[in-house]
A and B are shown apart, each in its own frame.
Chain A
């Protein structure tokens, strides 16, 4: 299961695109991968793009919030981008607002939040 969600590095920022269901083992491996990559590389944080997810249940929401909190403890930050409208509405209705989680509208905005600017050369 390890490495099923690749974590890329662009400049000072890490990027992970979640396109498969974050189920138990996959989610734990992903959490582990994110934290070790942050530990090993000198980085401002990670942008996690979840626009590929149709549903986010409370388990996945908790994993994502955990990643955010642990990243914070390490002095870095995790930004979630690409939450679909229906996913956001469901999470809020379930009473799961993922407090303390940083979110951004799209990848561009997410990268900018971490101090990385995409510019034309």
Chain B
């Protein structure tokens, strides 16, 4: 996902930025104070960035992100821009977008939040040293450092949100893939479809089953659809009810349903639950189901002569 995607996903509009800033107590005064520090910051930049990379290069876990000199030069340059970005004196939509881009890059290269946060600690320490050395009035130094801390924590909140948003997006993609895989409708023969159901059937999945069955029946102009439930671990009232509903809907569009894969255990449960499955053809094995389906479309399986 691009950083612009994150802006939308995290709903980072002006109102949200204001709410966040209010909570971090990041005022215009803080930003003005940081802007005033800019000349000092420009003097430190190179030294701070060098020191910062000493930490990152000193540990195997973080060293692996900087494999060659070209990369290192590039990230140091980016780091300088980031560093000076703290002292521009504004914190608006453009600033947030810029910070999200930083978070998105870290997420993309697989730099985990622990390294990000740990490295940031060093950053603050380096800045604290410089500020207290250069600003002689202790009160002024403290105020400056506090302003810096507010903006830094604000930045970190954005970076962490980016990590979370990226993970949620990955989970969403996986769920979609699972959904797609969970209802594979297979064409067995002309006019005969098969849906082997594997795994638990919850109400969301039941709905998808019904939809994909109906759409595929129309697409293939199938006369029969076989639902094989051998792979469904538990058939309770809800699952049975959903199967009955799917059968009714299939009948409405002019096709028939055969339910196969009914074990003795499942058959007993269905009877005990008192679910009326008389509207559908039922068979214990898939093989019998296929034979029945073929006979419904006027075909038979026969042995080869000779």
Contact = CB atoms under 8 A, between A and B. Distances in A.
- Is the pairing of A and B real? yes
B135 interface: no
A85 B214 contact: yes
A38 B223 CA distance: 28
Interface residues of B, number: 19
Given A85-B211, A85-B218, A93-B245, A105 B223 contact: yes
A91 B252 CA distance: 9
Given A92-B245, A93-B245, A103 B251 contact: yes
Given A83-B254, A103-B254, A109-B254, A89 B221 contact: no
A106 B251 CA distance: 13
A13 interface: no
Interface string A94-115: 0001100101111001100000
Interface in B235-278: 245-246, 248-255
Contacts of B215: 85
B48 to A, nearest CB: 61
B35 interface: no
A81 interface: yes
Given A89-B210, A105-B221, A105-B223, A83 B253 contact: yes
B243 to A, nearest CB: 12
Contacts, number: 59
A8 interface: no
A92 B254 contact: no
A95 B222 CA distance: 24
B251 to A, nearest CB: 6
Interface of A: 80-81, 83-89, 91-93, 97-98, 101, 103-106, 109-110
Given A97-B248, A106-B254, 19 more contacts: A80-B254, A83-B252, A85-B214, A85-B217, A85-B253, A86-B211, A88-B214, A88-B249, A88-B250, A92-B245, A92-B246, A92-B249, A97-B251, A98-B252, A103-B254, A105-B218, A105-B221, A109-B254, A110-B254
15 contacts: A81-B254, A85-B211, A86-B211, A86-B214, A89-B249, A92-B245, A92-B249, A92-B252, A98-B252, A101-B252, A103-B253, A103-B254, A106-B221, A106-B254, A109-B254
